[in-house]
Structure formats: C-alpha cells, structure tokens
Amino acid sequence: MAFPEPEPGLSPPPDLRALVEQCVSRFPTDGARAVDEACAQYPHLAAALRRRMALLERSGFLAGDPGQTDYPDRLGDFHLLELIGEGGMGAVFRARQVSLDRQVALKVIRADLAFSPRSRERFRREIEAIAAMRSAGIVQVYVVGDEEGVPYYAMELVDGINLQDLVLDLRRTPPERLTGADLRAALARMLAGRQASSTANEVEDLFAGTYVQVCCRIAQRVARTLAYAHERGVLHRDVKPSNVMLDRSGRVLLLDFGLARAIESGDGAMTRTGALVGSPAYMAPEQMRGEPNLDGRVDVYGVGVLLYELLTHRAAFRGDTQEDLRASVLAGSVPSPQQLNPALPRDAETICLKAMAPERGRRYATTEALADDLQRFLELRPIAARRAGWPYRIRRWGQRHPARATALVATLLVAVGAPIAYAAQERVARQAITAALDRAERNQRSYELAISTVIAGMEDTTMRLAHDEQLASGKLDALRRELLEGAAAFWQTMADVDDPAPGVRDALFRAKSVLAVTRRELGDLAGARAVLAATARQIEELRDAATESERRHLDQDLAKVLFDTADVMLAQHELRPAVETLQRSAAIAESAAAAAANPGAVQRHVRRCRLNIAQAQAQLGEADAAIATCREVLAGMADEGASDAMLRARTLLAAVLLHTGRLDEAAPALQEAIDLRTQRMQADPADVANLRDLKSVHHNLGLLLQQRGDLAGARHNLERSLTLAKQLRAAFPDRLDNRLTVLSSTMVLANVLLRLGEPAAAEALCREGVHDGEVLAVEHADVADVRSTLAELRSTLGQMLIDDPARRGEAVALLRGAVEVLEARAQDPGAGPDVVSSLATTRGLLASALARSGELSESRAVEDAAFSAYEAAWKQDRQNGFVVANAARAFASASSRGLRADDEARVRAVLQRAATMPEVDEVLWTLLRELPEPSQRQLERLRPSPGDR
C-alpha cells in the first residue's frame, strides 16, 4: 500500500499531524516502509516525521504486540517513575517534575489512541473540564502539555484507593456487619506500604458512625462535587465506583472527566459513529438510548447507582452479554437494597432508589437536591424523597412484563364478567366441547403422529442451537439468546400438555428434557432442575401403575432424566448428590438392559454415568475411587476402538493420576491420550471438543515433565498447548474459557523458560499474558476466575523480578496485589485447594521478596500466612500432588533461609509445622537431603521427634 499521489489543484499536501496518522495506521502491516515512503513523497516533512515516529516507537506506541508496549522514561519536564493505572483514554504515571522537583500524577493519552483525532478531542475535553475547576473533590491540574504530538497533563498525586477496589476488598464481609471503622481499616490496609504524597489534612471524620452513614457521606460529597461541575456547565456522564477515590486523609475525589460534556451541548451517549460511550452498567437509561439534551439528572442517576453498590456490595445491573445488560438497565428493576443489606434504614433506601429511578422525571432534579436529602438523612431529619406508590409500581411491572400484565387483566375481566355471561354461554360451550371431543377421537392417531414428529424435528434443531460452538462463542450471543428463549417458550408449551396416551407421553418426556436443556443454556440452572425433578416424579408415579412392558419404557425415560438432573447438579457444584443420582441412573439402565431394544445404547449410557461419577469423585478429592472408576470403564472397552467414551476415560484417568502425584503412572497415560487425540484431530480437524481436550493433555504432560526436571520436554508440550489454545481463541474469540486457557498456558510456559535460563523470553511472554489478562479483567470484572488467573500471572511476573534489585519494588507491588486478589478468591465458598495453593505460593514469593528487601519482620509474617494457606489446601485434598509438592518446596526454602540466618528456633518451628502434614513432610525431607551434608546434619538435629509431631 503506497501513499496516494497528490493531484495538483485538487487537494493540498497533508500537514505533519495528518502524515503521522497515516503512518501510524499503516505501521502494523507495513512497518518502517510506511515511514520511508512518506519521507520520499514529502521530503520537506521528512526530518520532523522521522523524529515523531521515533518517539512513538520508543514509547511502544508502534509495537506490533500490545504486550510489549513500554512507555518512555521521560516526557518533556517529567521523569516517569511508575505506571499506576490505565483506563479507556489514557495511562497515569507517578512522575517527577524535574524543574520543580515534585512528584505528580502524569496522564498520557493511551498508545493506540494517540493519533486518533476523535480520541485527542476527548482527551483535550477532559483537560479543559477539570483544569478550569477548583474544588476539594476534584484533583488539581498543574501543567498541560504536548510533547512531539503526545498530549499529557500533570495533576496532584493522590494516595488513595478507588471505590471499586475498596468494595471488592470489603465483599468478604456482609455489608450489614460492617462499620465505618471497618471501611477506614480497609483503606489503611490497602494503602499500607505506600509512600504518602498527599498534603491534605483530615478536616472531618468521614468514617464516623455506621457503614451506611459512611456510604451516604461518600455519595453526598460526590453529589456536591458534581453540583459544582454542573454550575460551570459540565456533565460528568461516567460516575461509577472506579472513578471515585478515597485518599488517606479522607477526601472523596471524583476522577476521569474524559466523557464530560457541556450541558448545553445536547448530545446523548453516542459518538458520531453510533457507538456507546461510557460504562453501560452505570449509564442512565436515557444515556443508554442515546437521547439528546441530557442534563444533570444523568449524574444524579450515576450517584444513585454508585450508592446502591456501596450499600449492597453488588452492581445494580448485571448481564451475561451487553444486550442483557442493556435490557436490565432500561427495565430499571433492581433487587431491594434492604434485601441485600438488612441493616439499611428505609430512608437511605428511599434516597438511593429515587436517585436511580429509570424515568428522569422521578429523580432528584439536581445533584444539589440529592446531596441535601443525604444531609437530612445523616442529621436524622425527615427526608424529602417519597417512596413510589402502588399505581406506579404496578405500571412499571406491567411495562416489564407485558404478557403477564395482559393475562392478569384478562383474568380479572373473566372473574368479574363470568357470572354474568355463564348462563348465556353454557349451552354453546357444551356443544363446542362435544364437537371437539368427537374430532379428537377421529383424529387421535394423526394427532399422536403430529406431536411426535414436531417434537422430534424441533428437538434436533434446539439441541444444535444449544451446542453450536460458533453461536456459543459470543459473536451471535444476542441472536442465540433470542432463539433459545423462543425455543424455551415452545418447549414449555409442549411440557404443559398432559396426555396419557403412550405414543404422546414418551414424546412429551423428551420435550421436558429439551426444555431443561434450553433453560440451562439460558443460565437458569434452578429452572432446569425444577423441570427435571417434576418429570422424574411424574415418571415414577406412572411407573407404579404400569405394566411390565410399559415399565421398561418408563425406566429408560427415568434413567435419562436422572442423568440430566445429575449434570445440572455438577454445574451447581453439588457433587455428592450428583454421584448418588448418577449411580441410580446407571442402576436403573442396567436393570432394564436385558430387555432393551438397543443394548449398546444402554451400555453407552452406563459408561457416561460412570465417567461423570469419576469426574465428581476427583473433584471431591476421592482420587483412588476416581482412578478405579476410570479403569473399570476402560476394562469394559478393551475390544473397542477410539470411541468418545474411551478417549474421555483415558484423558480423565491421566489427569487424576497427575493430580495425585502418581507421575510414573500418569506419564504414559498422558502420552497415550495425546496419541489418540492427535489421531482423532487428523481424522476430524473440525472436532472442537477433541481439540480442547488435546490442548489440556499437552498442558498436563508439560506440568508433569516440569516436575520431573525434563524442561526441554515440558517446553515442547507447553508450546504445543499454547498453540492449540491460541487456535481455539482465534476460532471462538468471545468464549471466556478459550481466552482463560491461553493465559494459563502462557503462565506455565513462562516459568519453564525462566528455568531454562531464558529470562528475557520468559519475562516478555509473561508480560504479554499480564496485558491480555488485564484486558480480560476489564471486560469480565465480576468473573472470579479471571481475577485469580490475572493474579497468578502477576505473581509469576513478580517472581521473575525478585532477583533484580532495581526491579524488586515492582516485584513486591505485583505480589502484594496478587495476594490481595487471591485472598478474596479463597474466601469464596466454591474455591478449591488449587486456589488456596496459589495463594500460598504467592505469599511465599512475597515473603522471599520482602526478605531480600530487608523487611524481615513482615517477611516472616507473610511466610507464616503462606504456611497456613498450604495447611488449608492440604486439609481440603491430601492427595493433591501439586499442593503437596508446592508446600514442601515452601517449607524447604524457609528452612534453608533459617539456616543461613543461623536462626535455629525458626528452623525448628518450620519443621514442626511441616511435620503435621505427613505427605508434605515426606517430600520436604526428600528435598532437604539434596543440601550439603553439614546442613543436613543440622536439620536432622532440629527435626521434631515422632512424639512431638
């Protein structure tokens, strides 16, 4: 692609900025050739153009791989010290202003937006919006500048935490059990270790009183700041927890005016291209719809939604997709805050709900009015807001549920009018019913055939819709959901049919099974389970009165329904009930096998039950039982080829053997699984499920070889796993599991590269993973697995930097952040031993980094916390080979550090603690026997005797 030749008399040559934009847009494909061609065409601009492009390249703005972006060390008068945040528009650095020798927060436009005219305009608008304002609730802007075409501004450096991070930290405690002091303590804990740079003094105590009072105080100060901005003609348009900060002095600061607009500008939430601008979960409905003539009530709504999240610890509006979220916001229906926080006073709830009313006419007229009503609440005076009356609430319900509202009105009309019309209609109704019965009797056989045919045809269509990889990838999520909802309505109609005729009854049981599938795919696990439970009860009632022949048919139906029920139980993590239900399903199927028309189908059903049992047993920590179940299934298929069941059994067996540390048995099982799945891939490259399993088996073999010390073999398998993971991500880019598995493979491969003596390659790969994880975390902030995977990646990167004194500070910061996220994740009821083990490993790394930084006291405390986490993980699953191995290495490292410090008391305490976990203790002493003999003798002397353990 060459630059277009200018036609004389038609258009002037481009200016420097336009030429830079053209080069930037071409750089990803043409590289330096784009610059050379531009310089050749416009020699009078060549020197300036090369200088600009060189600056962008040094800054990482032209990096082909976004994970390699590296900002410059210097920008004009500012020396960039540390990246402290990135958002939709820019990156914020802690920086030193050289001329005045002071630290500032320097915001630079984001790399990929630097030469977009529209983005530069938004960045300029943000600067103008806050530079002209002087308020205690808005950070002060010091300097505005532009360095070689890169705009920036310097502002007050605030030591604080944004409300989103603060709420995440507080979520481990229910909101009704918190106090203002707890919020103060959380802020202090999260700021611990940071160097104070804010000069503000605490004028009044933000944190006095109850937790609800503190939340209302915060919302009131945000509302006052917005009122100040509104007086100067500026709407914020993006009020949300991440844009509000508490500093260590108790100030409440409103950040990020990147979406600010003049009130009189009259624009909606849309850009000129029609794309929504803002954060959908916090947008007012009129902003979401892109309506013109927005006013201050947009920000009133934002404060209301922010207050709701503070008070309840959950976002007001959620959705699996953007369409779901949009529908939720426009519907305006949220759970009662008092239901989520029983300690919430009625007046506080009333204020919150009035501020976030869907209709702007029902909100506070101004943010000042909202702030005044919050002040009345805080002073225990009557508030101005009044709760919505019943007529309004009924009208809103009808708008959200038009079909139900119509049915209700019709029912009421019938209830009122029926007595009057009954006498007149009785004769006509009797005649119509008689005629219908006559027709039904004449057409019974045709009816049964029609019902069965329709159900069979729709069943195939619905199941393909439910399990189609492309539709499930997210690209067509809204369309898929709409189609599934339509299918669910059809199957619900079929399920409601009550016909005892055997020919119809079997088809209707299938209809209920498919209804359960559609409900599950729509995310309604409880609804799916209710359908299946009702179907199972109905079958068992029919079975009691059935003939022997009918009972065999009913048993087949019941076995299928029980299998589907167990599948939902597994998705709900109810493992023990799932195992019992699967055992019953298999037993019923086996009892009917002798008389079954298709014995092979019965065998396949029983195998599926047993493989699901094995998977549940593995998750329950019953590894021996899971291994025995897998081997039993495989023994029954000795003469069969590479069937789906056999492949799944071998893959599961290999994974459980690896999980329990039986490496000698796991290695050949994993290699055999790889060989079989590779053959399947060659025969059927479009089999996505096989591709996904092949990736997992390569990943597991890489982990095994890493544990054995075969780093070259580990690298080969992990690189293959990463290649397959990226192939899946490319095919289905919107599937979260595909994107997460790329991050996991990246992390493990980076560790292996580090151990192979390739630190630069390891760090580059790990930073790529961290970047991708941060992007994913922005898109899926509420998904725990995303947060914990990103934390583990940051932990891995921190480990790589520990040995470099110049970057040890970054390592400590990465590890602290990872520990905080994993601590919160470990509190989740569904967190297993692997999460707790990751927390323990990260704490151990942090302890090592702190020790090397001279922070010995804190290092010991963190190390003891790591030991506690390993103990917890070990108690959850004593056979988990990864937990045992990682714990043993942690205790071995602590023992070695104690020896080097000549601290025998510490070594004795560490060995005593390890001795309480026999599996860990055994591996620990295997590791310690690799130390020099003098160290071994000293450790044996300090080893607790059997009676002391």
Res 665: pLDDT: 85
What pLDDT is recorded for position 199?
45
Do 651 and 643 form a contact (C-beta atoms < 8 A)? no
Most confident of 393-407, 583-597, 694-708: 694-708
| Bridge partner residues of 111 (DSSP) | none
Spell 447-473 as b/e; 16+ CB within 10 A means b: bbeebbeebeebbeebeebbeeeebbb
Instruction: Provide the residue count of the chain.
Output: 949
Q: What is d(CA 716, CA 738) in angstroms, rounded to the nearest whole number?
A: 20
**Mean pLDDT of the 724-731 span:** 85
pLDDT band of residue 488 (cuts 50, 70, 90) is: low
pLDDT of residue 65: 41
Residue 350: the pLDDT is: 92
Q: Is 275 left (phi over 0), alpha (psi -120 to 50) or beta?
A: beta
HSE (side-chain half, CA atoms, 13 Å) at 564: 29
Paired residues of 83 in beta bridges: 93
User: What is the structure's pLDDT at 58?
Assistant: 58
Angle (deg, nearest 10), helices 918-928 and 881-900? 50
Q: What is the pLDDT of residue 438?
A: 57
What's the whole-number mean pLDDT along residues 236-255?
A: 88
Is residue 489 scored above 90 in pLDDT?
no
pLDDT digits (tens, 9 = 90+) for 442-483: 555 554 555 555 555 565 555 555 555 544 544 445 555 566
Please check whether residue 11 is in contact with residue 4, taking contact to mean a CB–CB distance below 8 angstroms.
Answer: no
Q: How far apart are CA 869 and CA 861, in angstroms?
A: 13
| Residue 409: Cβ-neighbour burial (10 angstroms; 0-12, 13-18, 19+) | exposed
Residue 237 has pLDDT above 60, yes or no: yes
Check residue 2 and give its pLDDT. Answer: 39
Q: Is 278 a residue whose pLDDT tops 70?
A: no
Q: What is the pLDDT of residue 195?
A: 59
Pairing of strands 160-162, 244-247: antiparallel
Distances (CA, A) of 413 to 417, 419, 763: 6, 11, 72
Q: CA torsion angle for 174, 179, 185, 190 (degrees, to 10)?
A: 40
Q: Name residue 489's beta-bridge partners.
A: none
pLDDT of residue 456: 58
Distances, alpha carbon 116 to alpha carbons 63, 406, 897, in Å? 17, 51, 53
Does the pLDDT value for residue 627 go beyond 80? Answer: yes
What is each CA distance from 336 to 309, 314, 348, 570, in whole angstroms? 12, 12, 12, 30
Amino acid found at 35:
V
Q: Which pLDDT tens digit goes with each residue over 538-574?
A: 888 877 777 777 777 788 888 888 998 988 888 777 8
pLDDT more than 70, % of the chain: 73
Model confidence over 866-878: pLDDT tens digits? Answer: 888 888 888 877 7
Beta strands 102-109 and 78-86, pairing class: unpaired
* pLDDT tens digits, 63-122: 444 334 455 678 888 888 888 876 656 788 889 988 888 899 888 876 555 555 666 667
pLDDT in tens, 913-933: 888 888 888 888 888 888 888
DSSP 204: S
C-alpha span between 595 and 584 (Å, rounded): 18
Is residue 468 within 8 A of residue 735, CB to CB? The reply is no
Residue-wise pLDDT for 792-835, tens only, equals: 888 889 888 888 888 888 988 898 888 888 888 777 766 667 77
Residue 859 predicted with pLDDT over 70? yes
Q: How many CB atoms sit inside 10 A of residue 908's CB?
A: 18
| Widest Cα–Cα separation across the chain | 107
How deeply is 512 buried, as exposed, middle or buried, from its count of CB atoms within 10 A (0-12, 13-18, 19+)? buried
Q: Could you report the per-residue pLDDT of 369-402, keeping only the tens digit for each?
A: 999 999 999 988 888 887 644 444 444 444 444 5
* 15 touches 48 (CB < 8 A): no
pLDDT digits 0-9 by tens, 756-777: 989 899 899 999 998 888 888 8
pLDDT at 280: 82
70 in catalytic set: no
| Cβ pair 491, 514 in contact under 8 A | yes
Q: Looking at beta carbons, which pairs linking 391-396 to residues 24 or more positions away fall under 8 Å?
A: 396/332, 396/333, 396/358
pLDDT in tens, 144-191: 887 766 778 888 888 888 898 898 888 888 899 898 888 988 888 888
More reliable by pLDDT, 201 or 688 = 688
Q: What's residue 62's pLDDT?
A: 60
* Residue 853 banded pLDDT, cuts 50, 70, 90: confident
| Residue 454 pLDDT | 52
Please state which of the ranges 578-587, 597-606, 839-848 shows the lowest mean pLDDT: 597-606
Cα 920 from Cα 914, distance rounded (Å): 7
pTM for the full predicted model = 0.47
The mean pLDDT of 707-725, rounded to a whole number, is 90
Rounded average pLDDT over 283-299: 88
Question: Which amino acid would we find at residue 419?
Answer: P
Who's near 3: CB < 8 A, 6+ residues apart?
Answer: 22, 37, 38, 41
What pLDDT was estimated at residue 422?
Answer: 36
Mean pLDDT (the chain, rounded): 77
- Residue owning tokens 């509000």: 244
69-78, 416-425, 877-886: segment of lowest average pLDDT: 416-425
Do the Cβ atoms of 70 and 116 come closer than 8 Å? Answer: no
Residue 312's pLDDT is what? 93
Q: Cα-flanking dihedrals φ and ψ of residue 79, to 5°?
A: -100, 115
Percent of the chain whose pLDDT exceeds 90: 12
Sheet holding 78-86, edge to edge: 74-75, 78-86, 90-97, 102-109, 150-155, 141-147
- pLDDT confidence of 713, banded at 50, 70, 90? very high
Please give the C-alpha separations between residue 670 and each of 178, 474, 629, 657, 759, in angstroms, as whole numbers.
50, 32, 17, 9, 29
Q: Which comes out higher in pLDDT, residue 16 or 238? A: 238
Q: Which of 169, 238, 373, 693 is catalytic?
A: 238
In the predicted model, what is the mean pLDDT of residues 623-627? 85
The CA-to-CA distance between both ends of the chain, in Å, stands at 74
In this structure, what token pair is assigned to residue 870?
Answer: 């390993």
